[in-house]
């Protein structure tokens, strides 16, 4: 039969299955094929905290969502149009998010009594009519995968395990994804296990062919290439972009990168990624604990390397005292916090952005430091580079805030020209700066102190956590006035960072919007999409997104005062909004969501409309 091809501009697909079903891999492969054919895209993996929760249960469900489009898109999508459910639990756990009337492609073979019971179904939803409002495609994926892999040198179990590639093949056909990208990948990935390679290839092809030939699917879809700036693109998630940003900063500063971390979800991925790039001279160190990781990075900084440590909220708590030492030692250091839902262990695999106050104030004494935040997966590269720039230029620890969503989700990235990335000059002290001998705290016009590394003759000096004469010798001082002067100097130096930050970009086409949305972090995509939706309804609304959270950019106050209404969407209980109120005495209103999930476009759209009314 001839199948129809229907044009679509955007689709949201969610692959869901048991955590052992390989859904992340399936999603990842689909994403790559999608990226390479030039659709714009955004992804959102969602996996359980348990490594192998009991098979078939609701809390063992792992999902991967991808939003792809022929135009510029900003978020992974609020509601999937298509749900691929590999078992009843995956269906049950994800049904609530599916768009009304959406499409369900289910592995019919797994809808048996035992699995239905584990998922808490009384009957079989594929048969009892409960899904009548949806388009349901039951497909015997397991049977067909076994059939396709028969005769290959794999066990039945190994053959069955290839069923995620069957699903991938089917969905690839449905949306016209090229097959060669996936087959090449399978061939390379499983080159050393030819039997598994062949099983996966067979399953993938069987899935694709099933879509093409079976009468079940009458239509496949075509999504055109999205318009984009000329250049070379790749797909990246926030983890990889952040790691590469650090490597780029290392290359551009000539400072060898030393990264110490302690395993913690979701920041471990950063340690893993950096560990792969030892040929850049990257030293990665898995420390005995979070505190050690911070101290090792600080030690590396003292020794003249680019000292970086990464963690998530619980680890940032532990590093606080060491960071305060870095504040008074005035050494360059970057602390990456990939935020997750807290407090305590909280929800380690779920996103939240509630560590801003911790970054800002979570140390004893007056302990100011610059804070930089990333706002999209690809922009993690720029944010990391900027954090290093500030740290080195101002001799200060810098906290770089990312979050679980940014780390895990992906988007196309226009690869920057490495020649145009600015050089970061470490400006090591090489000779004495004073007639009476080297003064480690004699400051430059930015108030940055000299960085004299061991091995430099004549500049031997001691620095430490005790209060010191903070504008010259660095010698221990308990003098009351010196402490006050030192406290002011440390703060003023951090405030001076604002002078090195470019003006903010305000998105306000006519310049007369009634409401300004002030965002930070991973809400950026949602805010931009919501703004587009609000403007479609004829309303005027503006947006500014902050990368520098401390100090605030010099022009922020003037921008805030331009608008009658301020709305701050945050994945916390009001941290940026509170800082804005405290700093500028403005009525910054909070829109809060703390569900371990990104804010959805439609939620924010409605909120903005309500505020404008």
Partner 1 sequence: MIDGGNGNGEGVRGRQLTLTKKDFTSDQEVRWCPGCGDYAILSTVQGFLPELGIPTKDIVFVAGIGCSGRFAYYMDTYGVHGIHGRAPALATGIATTRPDLSVWVITGDGDGLSIGGNHLIHALRRNVDITILLFNNQIYGLTKGQYSPTSEQGKVTKSTPFGSVDYPFNPVALALGAEATFVARTIDNDRKHSTEVLRAAAEHKGSAFIEIFQNCNVFNDGAFAAVRDKQAGAQQNQIRLEHGQPIRFGKDGERGVVQRPDGSLEIVAVQDAGEEALLVHDMHRAEPALAFSLAHLSERPTGPTPIGIFREIARPVYGEAMDAQLEQAKEKMGEGDLAALLHSGDTWSVE
Partners of 338 in the β-ladder? 402
Q: How far apart are CA 354 and CA 125, in angstroms?
A: 39
Tell me if 469 contacts partner 1 by CB under 8 A. Answer: no
Q: How far is CA 600 from CA 102, 250, 300, 481, 577, in A?
A: 18, 36, 41, 52, 19
Q: How far apart are CA 375 and CA 402, in angstroms?
A: 8
Q: Which of 407, 327, 399 lies closest to 364 in space, CA to CA?
A: 327
Q: Considering the complex, state which of residue 91 and residue 255 has its C-beta at the smaller distance from partner 1.
A: 255
Tell me if 455 contacts partner 1 by CB under 8 A. Answer: yes
Q: Considering the complex, state which of residue 104 and residue 320 has its C-beta at the smaller distance from partner 1.
A: 320
Tell me if 100 contacts partner 1 by CB under 8 A. Answer: no
Q: How far apart are CA 574 and CA 587, in angstroms?
A: 12
Q: How far is CA 553 from CA 27, 371, 388, 468, 559, in A?
A: 39, 11, 18, 30, 10
Tell me if 20 contacts partner 1 by CB under 8 A. Answer: no
Close Cβ partners of 110 (under 8 Å, ≥ 6 residues apart): 86, 87, 88, 142
Q: Which stretch binds partner 1 (CB under 8 A): 88-96, 395-403, 411-419, 531-539?
A: 411-419
Tell me if 134 contacts partner 1 by CB under 8 A. Answer: no
CB 296 → partner 1: shortest distance, Å? Answer: 4
Q: Considering the complex, state which of residue 143 and residue 317 has its C-beta at the smaller distance from partner 1.
A: 317
From 244, 441, 552, 563, residue interacting with partner 1 (rule: CB under 8 A): 244
Q: Considering the complex, state which of residue 29 and residue 543 has its C-beta at the smaller distance from partner 1.
A: 29
Tell me if 426 contacts partner 1 by CB under 8 A. Answer: no
From 47, 190, 285, 428, residue interacting with partner 1 (rule: CB under 8 A): 285
Tell me if 396 contacts partner 1 by CB under 8 A. Answer: no
CB 302 → partner 1: shortest distance, Å? Answer: 6
444-449 CB contacts, 8 Å cutoff, 24+ apart? 446/393, 446/394, 446/493, 446/496, 446/499, 447/394, 447/489, 447/492, 447/493, 447/496, 448/330, 448/393, 448/394, 448/395, 448/396, 448/493, 449/330, 449/395
From 256, 346, 348, 426, residue interacting with partner 1 (rule: CB under 8 A): 256
Tell me if 253 contacts partner 1 by CB under 8 A. Answer: no
Tell me if 38 contacts partner 1 by CB under 8 A. Answer: yes
CB 452 → partner 1: shortest distance, Å? Answer: 8
Close Cβ partners of 188 (under 8 Å, ≥ 6 residues apart): none
Tell me if 321 contacts partner 1 by CB under 8 A. Answer: yes
Tell me if 394 contacts partner 1 by CB under 8 A. Answer: no
CB 24 → partner 1: shortest distance, Å? Answer: 17
Q: How far is CA 473 from CA 107, 138, 427, in A?
A: 72, 76, 19
Residues that bind partner 1 (rule: CB under 8 A) add up to a total of 70
Task: Extract the runs of DSSP E, i.e. beta strands, from 345-438.
Answer: 371-373, 397-403, 410-414
From 5, 49, 216, 228, residue interacting with partner 1 (rule: CB under 8 A): 228
Q: How far apart are CA 106 and CA 184, in angstroms?
A: 27
CB 439 → partner 1: shortest distance, Å? Answer: 13
CB 363 → partner 1: shortest distance, Å? Answer: 11
353 close to 399: Cβ distance less than 8 angstroms: no
Q: Which of 54, 53, 34, 56 lies closest to 43 in space, CA to CA?
A: 34
Q: Considering the complex, state which of residue 284 and residue 351 has its C-beta at the smaller distance from partner 1.
A: 284
582 close to 528: Cβ distance less than 8 angstroms: no
Tell me if 377 contacts partner 1 by CB under 8 A. Answer: no
CB 416 → partner 1: shortest distance, Å? Answer: 7
Tell me if 303 contacts partner 1 by CB under 8 A. Answer: yes
DSSP one-letter code for 613: -
Looking only at the bridges linking them, the beta strands covering 565-570 and 515-520 are parallel
Q: Which stretch binds partner 1 (CB under 8 A): 266-274, 293-301, 347-355, 500-508?
A: 293-301
74 close to 51: Cβ distance less than 8 angstroms: no
Q: How far apart are CA 545 and CA 542, in angstroms?
A: 10
From 233, 375, 520, 600, residue interacting with partner 1 (rule: CB under 8 A): 233
Is residue 569 helix, strand or coil?
strand
Tell me if 325 contacts partner 1 by CB under 8 A. Answer: yes
CB 74 → partner 1: shortest distance, Å? Answer: 18
Residues that bind partner 1 (CB under 8 A): 32, 35-38, 181, 228-235, 244, 247-248, 251, 256, 258, 260, 277-283, 285, 287-289, 291-293, 295-305, 307, 321-322, 324-325, 329, 415-416, 418, 454-466, 475-476
């Amino acid at each position: 039969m001839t199948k129809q091809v229907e044009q679509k501009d955007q689709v949201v697909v969610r692959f869901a299955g048991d955590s052992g079903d390989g859904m992340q891999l399936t999603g990842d492969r689909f994403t790559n094929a999608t990226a390479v054919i030039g659709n714009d895209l955004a992804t959102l993996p969602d996996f359980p905290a348990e490594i192998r929760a009991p098979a078939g249960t609701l809390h063992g469900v792992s999902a991967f969502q991808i939003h792809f489009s022929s135009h510029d898109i900003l978020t992974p999508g609020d509601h999937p149009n298509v749900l691929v459910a590999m078992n009843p639990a995956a269906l049950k756990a994800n049904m609530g998010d599916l768009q009304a009337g959406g499409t369900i492609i289910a592995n019919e073979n797994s809808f048996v009594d035992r699995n239905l019971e584990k998922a808490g179904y009384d009957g079989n939803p594929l048969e009892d009519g409960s899904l009548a409002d949806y388009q349901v495609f039951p497909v015997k994926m397991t049977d067909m995968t076994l059939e396709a892999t028969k005769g290959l040198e794999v066990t039945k179990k190994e053959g069955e395990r290839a069923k995620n590639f069957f699903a991938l093949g089917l969905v690839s056909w449905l949306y016209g994804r090229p097959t060669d990208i996936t087959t090449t990948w399978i061939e390379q990935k499983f080159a050393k296990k030819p039997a598994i390679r062949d099983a996966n290839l067979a399953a993938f092809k069987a899935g694709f062919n099933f879509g093409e030939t079976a009468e079940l699917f009458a239509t496949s879809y075509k999504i055109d290439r999205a318009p984009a700036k000329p250049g070379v693109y790749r797909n990246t998630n926030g983890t990889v972009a952040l790691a590469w940003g650090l490597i780029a900063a290392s290359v551009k500063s000539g400072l060898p990168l030393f990264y110490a971390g302690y395993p913690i979800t979701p920041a471990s991925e950063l340690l893993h990624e950096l560990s792969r790039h030892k040929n850049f001279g990257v030293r990665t160190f898995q420390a005995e604990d979070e505190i050690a990781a911070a101290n090792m990075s600080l030690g590396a900084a003292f020794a003249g390397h680019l000292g970086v440590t990464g963690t998530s909220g619980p680890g940032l708590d532990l590093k606080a005292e060491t960071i305060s030492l870095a504040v008074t030692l005035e050494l360059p250091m970057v602390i990456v916090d990939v935020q997750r839902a807290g407090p305590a262990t909280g929800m380690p695999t779920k996103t939240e952005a509630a560590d801003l106050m911790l970054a800002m104030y979570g140390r004893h004494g007056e302990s100011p430091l610059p804070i930089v935040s990333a706002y999209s997966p690809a922009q993690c590269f720029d944010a990391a580079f900027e954090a290093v720039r500030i740290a080195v230029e101002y001799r200060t620890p810098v906290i770089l805030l990312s979050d679980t969503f940014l780390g895990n989700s992906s988007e196309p990235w226009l690869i920057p020209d490495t020649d145009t990335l600015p050089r970061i000059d470490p400006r090591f002290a090489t000779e004495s700066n004073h007639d009476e001998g080297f003064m480690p705290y004699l400051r430059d016009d930015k108030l940055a102190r000299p960085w004299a590394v061991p091995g430099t003759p004549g500049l031997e000096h001691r620095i430490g956590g005790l209060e010191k004469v903070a504008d010259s010798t660095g010698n221990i001082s308990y003098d009351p006035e010196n402490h006050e002067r030192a406290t002011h100097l440390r703060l003023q130096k951090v405030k001076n960072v604002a002078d090195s930050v470019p003006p903010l970009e305000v998105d306000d086409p006519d310049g007369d919007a009634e409401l300004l949305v002030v965002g930070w972090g991973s809400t950026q995509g949602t805010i931009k999409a919501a703004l587009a939706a609000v403007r479609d309804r004829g309303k005027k609304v503006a947006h500014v997104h902050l990368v520098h959270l401390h100090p605030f950019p010099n022009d922020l106050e003037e921008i805030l005062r331009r608008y009658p209404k301020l709305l701050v969407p945050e994945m916390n209980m009001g941290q940026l909004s509170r800082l804005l109120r405290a700093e500028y005495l403005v009525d910054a209103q909070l829109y809060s969501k703390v569900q371990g999930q990104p804010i959805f476009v439609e939620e924010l759209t409605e909120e903005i409309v309500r505020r404008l009314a």
